[in-house]
């Protein structure tokens, strides 16, 4: 993989050489309605029908849905831009050899190193998917890149600070969160190194692209492509999360809180469903005071690693056959790690 | 997807973000105030990117025109991911609908959980003032958990919006967010002794705390005996 991507970067195929090997999409024929016309007409119709459109959004449930949907998208945009910028920068600027030298050669060691490196990316989970993709494109072993993908949104300083603020006077919660998240990331990374099959991981579009232009054009091209791609899947995740957020009533949660074994599972699943940003989930966890601390820890460990928004984005970047296997494994490991950490530290 | 379309989608999304963050306070309906500089930066970047893409599309068109196929397949970036069409959805909802801040619908369906403050350091005494203006969340925490019961016989003033109580009566409510509206936490105080104003309207309520038997449980909703209810405009930041 590393050699392959290296050779693609250095190949000096002329940029205007036409569709590569017949793999490019068919040319648009004249006279057919293209995407541009469709978009322009669609926008004009929507502008003209603005009143009619607003009429759809008067029911309180629909309004609440739209607000939560817009909120999820809006708050993710800066992080998505940051993540894609970093990813494009890694692809266009960081030499593959550097990353390979920076990480230990053997996956057994590279995975925990990459997991710890997650502590330096100050973003939430929206940023980490494109960055992990960029790392893989630069020849980092998938197991290590995936450990980074899981740990970055969970153990970075911003998230840990938020956790400390949400649980004042309880530093053991911060410690338990850090430990359980890092352990989950590393274990899942190792599991991937041992059992993962490369064919589950769809190579990203960027890696297939011949790259003969100047560095700036390559950077911009990679950035636009990846941003459009990731944000498209973010919208799918936002639709799902907003729907579940509005539809799932919170009241019944209280009734499940008393059951000891179940409560951890309930809050782990709630984290999957609500898709709260990892910078905020500690405050939500703090508010779920009817639940034992171990269950609230599971909410904070699972949330940054597996949620409906994230699964959609991973499916978009790495393919469905990866996303469901990876998320199911991660969820299992994360629940076990939080139950253990909760029992031991809290 | 043509590059022109990519450009338009990027400009649409970027300007939607700028419209609610740079040119108005609408973003406060969706996210916390601290996110504003990041939203503006991201919005500017996305718009700039859209413009650059448009310029590249227009330039890239020239050499491709004469090859008889029409246009726009000069090289392989030209066709973006189809999934990006979905970007139009949030952009259109923001620009054309701009849904209001969450209100009584959300508050009604949320459980009331007042976290017991974890730091066992105790509470500072309440400041002076009559009526004492308190954030709703503070009132609720003090009513439920402060062992000194400093609210007893104090006249307090609370700001919030009106949420009807199922089975009659009403609450004055606040939603508090820590990142975006998806993580809103509900605080409510039941109001007695005053007619219910229209649901979702904002009011200040002046009154005295009525201690109830179930105080000290995290799902207890404190009660205020109101002496005065005044309609007020919605605050700039509805979640602060």
pTM over 0.90: no
Same domain, B135 and B216: yes
| Domain end residue (candidates: B64, B99, B134) | B99
Same domain, B157 and B93: no
Distance from CA of B130 to the nearest CA of A (A): 30
Domains: count for chain B: 2
Average pLDDT of span A161-170: 82
Q: Give the pLDDT score at A181.
A: 95
Does the residue A81 lie in any domain? yes
Same domain, B172 and B59: no
Please tell me which of A81-90, A129-138, B3-12 the model is most confident about, judged by mean pLDDT. Answer: B3-12
**Residue-range definition of the domain harbouring residue A319:** 75-345
According to DSSP H, which parts of B82-127 are helical?
88-92, 104-109
Does the residue A261 lie in any domain? yes
Q: What is the pLDDT of residues A276-285, one digit of tens each?
A: 778 778 877 8
Average pLDDT of span A25-38: 61
Does the residue A56 lie in any domain? no
Same domain, B110 and B225: yes
Average pLDDT of span A68-72: 91
Contact residues on chain A for B71, CB-CB shorter than 8 A: 28
Same domain, B200 and B84: no
Q: Give the pLDDT score at B91.
A: 93
Same domain, B87 and B110: no
Tell me which residue of A306, A311, A307 sits closest to A323, measured CA to CA.
A311
Does the residue A277 lie in any domain? yes
Same domain, B143 and B192: yes
Does the residue B236 lie in any domain? no
Contact A290 B183 (CB under 8 A): no
Which CATH number do you get for residue B188?
Answer: 2.40.50
ipTM: 0.88
Residue B43 at interface with chain A, using a CB cutoff of 8 Å: yes
Q: Give the pLDDT score at B112.
A: 66
- Is residue A287 within 8 A of residue A99, CB to CB? The reply is no
Q: Give the pLDDT score at B113.
A: 62
- Residue of B80, B90, B176, B187 to mutate, testing the A interface (most A Cβ within 10 Å of its Cβ): B90
**Residue-range definition of the domain harbouring residue B153:** 105-231
Does the residue B159 lie in any domain? yes
Please tell me which of A320-324, A332-336, B56-60 the model is most confident about, judged by mean pLDDT. Answer: A332-336
Say which of B12, B93, B121 has its CB closest to residue A169: B121
Does the residue A17 lie in any domain? no
Q: What is the pLDDT of residues A323-337, one digit of tens each?
A: 999 999 999 999 999
**Residue that wins the pLDDT comparison between A341 and A99:** A341
Q: What is the pLDDT of residues A210-263, one digit of tens each?
A: 445 567 777 788 788 888 888 888 888 888 888 888 887 666 666 677 676 788
Does the residue B238 lie in any domain? no
Contact B1 A35 (CB under 8 A): yes
What are the helix and strand counts (H, E) for chain B? 5, 6
Same domain, B12 and B123: no
Tell me which residue of A341, A343, A326 sits closest to A182, measured CA to CA.
A341
Contact residues on chain A for B36, CB-CB shorter than 8 A: none
3-state secondary structure of B24: coil
Contact residues on chain A for B89, CB-CB shorter than 8 A: 235, 239
Whether the pLDDT of residue B63 is over 60: the answer is no
Q: Give the pLDDT score at B116.
A: 64
Q: Give the pLDDT score at A58.
A: 83
Does the residue A213 lie in any domain? yes
Same domain, B189 and B83: no
Same domain, B18 and B67: yes
Does the residue B198 lie in any domain? yes
Does the residue A43 lie in any domain? no
Say which of B53, B69, B84 has its CB closest to residue A232: B84
Domains: count for chain A: 1
| Domain end residue (candidates: B99, B132, B167) | B99
Does the residue B239 lie in any domain? no
Same domain, B89 and B144: no
Same domain, B197 and B141: yes
Q: Give the pLDDT score at A140.
A: 86
Residue B182 at interface with chain A, using a CB cutoff of 8 Å: yes
Q: Give the pLDDT score at B80.
A: 65
Does the residue A60 lie in any domain? no
């Amino acid at each position: 993989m590393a050699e392959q991507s290296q050779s693609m970067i250095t190949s000096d195929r002329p940029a205007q050489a036409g569709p590569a090997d017949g793999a490019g999409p068919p040319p648009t024929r004249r006279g057919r309605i293209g995407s541009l016309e469709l978009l322009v007409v669609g926008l004009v119709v929507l502008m003209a029908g603005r009143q009619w459109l607003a009429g759809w959004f008067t029911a309180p449930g629909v309004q609440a849905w739209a607000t939560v949907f817009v909120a999820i998208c809006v708050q993710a945009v800066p992080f998505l831009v940051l993540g894609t910028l970093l990813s494009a920068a890694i692809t266009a600027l960081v030499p593959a050899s550097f990353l390979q030298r920076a990480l230990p050669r053997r996956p057994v060691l590279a995975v925990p190193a990459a997991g710890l490196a997650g502590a330096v990316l100050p973003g939430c989970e929206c940023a980490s998917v494109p960055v992990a993709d960029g790392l893989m494109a630069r020849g980092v072993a998938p197991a290590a890149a995936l450990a980074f993908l899981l740990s970055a949104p969970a153990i970075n300083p911003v998230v840990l600070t938020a956790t400390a603020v949400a649980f004042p006077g309880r530093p053991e919660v911060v410690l338990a969160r850090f430990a359980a998240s890092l352990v989950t990331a590393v274990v899942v990374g190792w599991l991937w190194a041992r059992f993962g099959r490369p064919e589950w991981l769809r190579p990203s579009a960027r890696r297939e692209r011949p790259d003969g232009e100047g560095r700036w054009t390559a950077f911009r091209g990679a950035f636009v492509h990846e941003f459009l791609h990731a944000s498209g899947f973010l919208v799918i995740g936002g639709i799902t999360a907003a729907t579940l957020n509005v539809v799932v009533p919170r009241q019944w949660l209280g009734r499940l809180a008393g059951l000891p074994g179940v409560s951890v599972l309930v809050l782990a699943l709630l984290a999957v469903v609500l898709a709260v940003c990892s910078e905020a989930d500690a405050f939500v966890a703090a508010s779920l005071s009817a639940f034992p601390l171990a269950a609230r820890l599971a909410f904070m460990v699972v949330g940054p690693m597996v949620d409906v928004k994230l699964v959609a984005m991973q499916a978009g970047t790495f393919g469905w056959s990866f996303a469901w296997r990876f998320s199911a494994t991660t969820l299992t490991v994360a629940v076990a790690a939080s139950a253990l950490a909760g029992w031991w530290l809290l | 997807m043509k590059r022109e379309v990519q450009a338009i989608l990027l400009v649409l999304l970027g300007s939607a973000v700028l419209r609610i963050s740079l040119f108005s306070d609408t973003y406060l309906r969706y996210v916390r105030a601290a996110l504003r500089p990041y939203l503006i930066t991201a919005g500017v970047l996305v718009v700039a990117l859209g413009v650059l893409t448009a310029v590249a599309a227009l330039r890239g068109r020239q050499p491709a025109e004469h090859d008889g196929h029409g246009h726009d397949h000069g090289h392989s970036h030209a066709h973006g991911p189809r999934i990006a069409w979905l970007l139009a959805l949030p952009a259109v909802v923001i620009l054309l609908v701009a849904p209001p801040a969450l209100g009584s619908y959300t508050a009604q369906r949320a459980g009331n959980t007042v976290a017991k403050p974890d730091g066992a350091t105790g509470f500072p005494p309440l400041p002076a003032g009559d009526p004492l203006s308190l954030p709703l969340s503070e009132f609720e925490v003090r009513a439920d958990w402060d062992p000194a019961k400093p609210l007893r016989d104090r006249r307090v003033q609370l700001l919030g919006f009106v949420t009807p109580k199922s089975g009659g009566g009403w609450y004055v409510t606040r939603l508090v967010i820590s990142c975006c509206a998806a993580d809103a936490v509900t605080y409510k105080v039941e109001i007695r002794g005053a007619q219910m104003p229209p649901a979702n309207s904002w009011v200040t309520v002046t009154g005295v705390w009525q201690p109830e038997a179930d105080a000290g449980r995290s799902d207890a909703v404190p009660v205020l005996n109101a002496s005065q209810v005044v309609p007020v405009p919605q605050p700039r930041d509805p979640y602060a």
